[in-house]
Structure 1
Amino acid sequence: MIMPQTIILKIDPQNIAWDKIEQASDILKNGGLVAFPTETVYGVGVLATDQNAVASLYTLKQRDREKQFSVCIYRLQQLEEFVENVPVLAYKLIRKFWPGPLTLVLNAADGRTIGVRMPAHSVSVSLLRRVEVPMFVPSANLKGGKSPVCANDVLKALSGQIHAVIDSGYTPLQLDSTVCKVEEDSYQILRQGALAERMIKKAAKVKNILFVCTGNSCRSPMAEGIMKKMIEEDHSFHIYSAGISAFDGMQATKEAVMVAAANGIDISGHRALMLTKEMVKESDYIFVMEQMHKQTIIQKVKTSAKRVFLLNEFSGSYEGQVNIPDPIGRGMDFYEKIFDLLKNSIGKAMVKL
């Protein structure tokens, strides 16, 4: 794309001008370079799918071709276009801080590492949604220059070298994103930015515990309630439940609610959730009631195999039977028996967590 004088597109982040977003999108789709605001600093972006535009970006930034640019995405599914096996820790940080000022450096599918970010600024989100593909977006400055926090900063450095800049005033945070490298269950801060390390450290310590049964209406809600009561004010655990065949929004069975209440646990507000891949990917431990639950989860997310456990088997509390029977349709006596079995197994499992 021939480089004209840099076009300035003024867009109010509180009142998106869609015609100008469309204009910026057209420039990008024709191989252009467009600077735009994020909540941290201004970045200059190209479509990640346009190799000629990517080459122009390398030239502009005077960057070694072996070093990849950070990529901006607008939906989580796009992450897996660049990273095959996203660590559980990364998903936990994503859940807590995306969209926002955190760039995660992960092992890419091609053997290198790549930084990935989901910005929160309304203009960057609107543009990413309009172009529909991920974008490579380094800071909109020349090598060694100060990160720009307004369109004038961009123009001082890049006027006549990029096709357009979206002027939305000063960025809200006026600091670079925090860059955090994640491998398996450990992290390293590569650049301290707008997101404080103490917040990352706090989020990284939390263990996500997921209980799974069939309908998420009796066994797993009781298990969730039991463990929440056991940990009381311990914020190092995030506990939730789901079902492999659940109907979203369904209440727990009245028997489960009554048995739990008799033991000082209130699950009357529980609403069933269908198990999703995202739940599986972000859980440190997934406790299931039956072998078929385990098989279903591993088929859904193959990388989860080492994190899915039969609750009875993990706790070592089974006596010849690893499955915890489904009490649905049974009487109160059977529900009480299952509740006691869950309580015993969870108590023993807690020691191992």
Structure 2
Amino acid sequence: MDSLHWSVNKDVDNLKGYPQIREAARLLQSNQVVAFPTETVYGLGANALSDDAVAKIYEAKGRPSDNPLIVHIAELQQLEELVDSIPAHAHLLMKEFWPGPLTLIFPKKAGVVSEKVTAGLDTIAVRMPDHPVALALISAARLPIAAPSANRSGKPSPTTARHVATDLDGRVAGILDGGPTGVGLESTVVDCTGEVPIILRPGGISMEDIEKVIGNVLAGPLSPNQMEIPKSPGMKYKHYAPVAPLYLLDGEPSWIQSMIDQKRRDGLKVGIMSTTENTHYYNADLVLECGSRMDLQSVAHHLYEVLRKFDEVPLDCIFSEVFPDSGIGAAIMNRLDKAAGHHWIRQKD
């Protein structure tokens, strides 16, 4: 198919009435898939109520069918139509962080959304995005929209419409360009179905932020048993990976350079993802800067863009620095660990 492309200024008034939004909404109503911007990454949206529509998401992405999807809404009334109950701690989190990069898991209301959205689970993951284009599109469509990241499965998530087109042009009905995203990493996912909430995926809202609102929360396992269906996207499969194998190097810049030198002596082409403070240390075939260690929000914002840039140059391997595992750093390291397939090399004392 030929994908339609629209461009819209997210800062204009009355976005819901713009012809680009209306046309994209009509495609969603006819059970087609449309890519659109959120404050985290670009999403690939479809009518969450339709098996046929949701199946097109999995087909376009090449996504495993046991990987559930997040449902995006524009108003709280839509949530009440989807879930069986809303726990007290979920009410507090919604009041504090919605709209925003926080996904909450609830007991689902039976017989409403497609079983393909929830992968047959009795729970449903829902969020309200904090992006005017996303909210206008969902409102115009008058539907709950199931939307994973708008990339081919396993590749780095898209933070621009150009990234979406690289992966999915010709595989989706339309791509709505609302400019670069803000946070740059997917939403935090919190399971609210138990007595104590569990963070299943770190993201734009940190554990520290959440605990300030509702007190103690638990951090879930990095991945479920391989025979289980994960409750959240991003738990079970390798994600976010560039073409060349990625390794996380935990050590001083001088030691990292020695690792680069060793690979290059073996005739390999090496890339390194560096922070602003350390770029001058490195001599490699490709050195890409991802942001400052003093501002991990900048690293989060640029992470997927940098991982995609490595694919523009033939490389045999990629090394990356690592980051503190707190605040937004927890989300950064979660994504890097999955992109690297859990391959770490640590400097010996």
* TM-score of the aligned structures, taking structure 2 as reference length: 0.56
Q: Match of 1:183? A: 193
Q: Is the 8 A contact 1:88 1:184 kept in 2?
A: no
Q: Match of 2:38? A: 38
For structure 1, the residue ranges without an aligned partner over 5 or more in a row are: 207-353
Q: Is the 8 A contact 1:25 1:130 kept in 2?
A: yes
1:11 partnered with 2:18: no
| Whole-Å separation in 2 of the counterparts to 1:160 and 1:68 | 24
Q: CA deviation at 1:23?
A: 1.0
Q: CA deviation at 1:173?
A: 1.5
- Which letter maps to 1:56? K
Greater RCO, CA 8 A, separation 6+: 2
Matched residue of 2:124: which SS? strand
Measured at CA, do residues 67 and 80 of structure 1 come closer, stay the same or move farther in structure 2, by a change above 3 Å? farther
- Which letter maps to 1:189? I
| Whole-Å separation in 2 of the counterparts to 1:113 and 1:145 | 26
Amino-acid identity (%): 37
For residues 112-154 of structure 1, give each alpha carbon's deviation from its aligned partner in whole angstroms, at most 9, with x where no partner exists: 2221000110000000110111010111011111111000110
Q: CA deviation at 1:20?
A: 0.6
Q: Is the 8 A contact 2:84 2:106 kept in 1?
A: no
Q: Match of 1:101? A: 101
Q: Match of 2:241? A: none
RMSD: 1.7
Q: CA deviation at 1:68?
A: 3.0
Matched residue of 1:8: which SS? strand
For residues 239-282 of structure 1, give each alpha carbon's deviation from its aligned partner in whole angstroms, at most 9, with x where no partner exists: xxxxxxxxxxxxxxxxxxxxxxxxxxxxxxxxxxxxxxxxxxxx
| Whole-Å separation in 2 of the counterparts to 1:13 and 1:73 | 18
Q: Match of 2:79? A: 79
| Whole-Å separation in 2 of the counterparts to 1:26 and 1:92 | 34
Q: CA deviation at 1:41?
A: 0.5
Matched residue of 1:114: which SS? strand
Q: Match of 1:145? A: 155
Matched residue of 1:138: which SS? coil
- Which letter maps to 2:167? A
* TM-score of the aligned structures, taking structure 1 as reference length: 0.55
Aligned counterpart in structure 1 of residue 136 of structure 2, from 126, 129, 137: 126
- Which letter maps to 2:196? S
| Whole-Å separation in 2 of the counterparts to 1:137 and 1:24 | 14
| Whole-Å separation in 2 of the counterparts to 1:58 and 1:166 | 19
For structure 2, the residue ranges without an aligned partner over 5 or more in a row are: 111-120, 217-349
| Whole-Å separation in 2 of the counterparts to 1:103 and 1:143 | 20
More helix by share: 1
Matched residue of 1:166: which SS? strand
Larger radius of gyration: 1
Q: Match of 1:160? A: 170
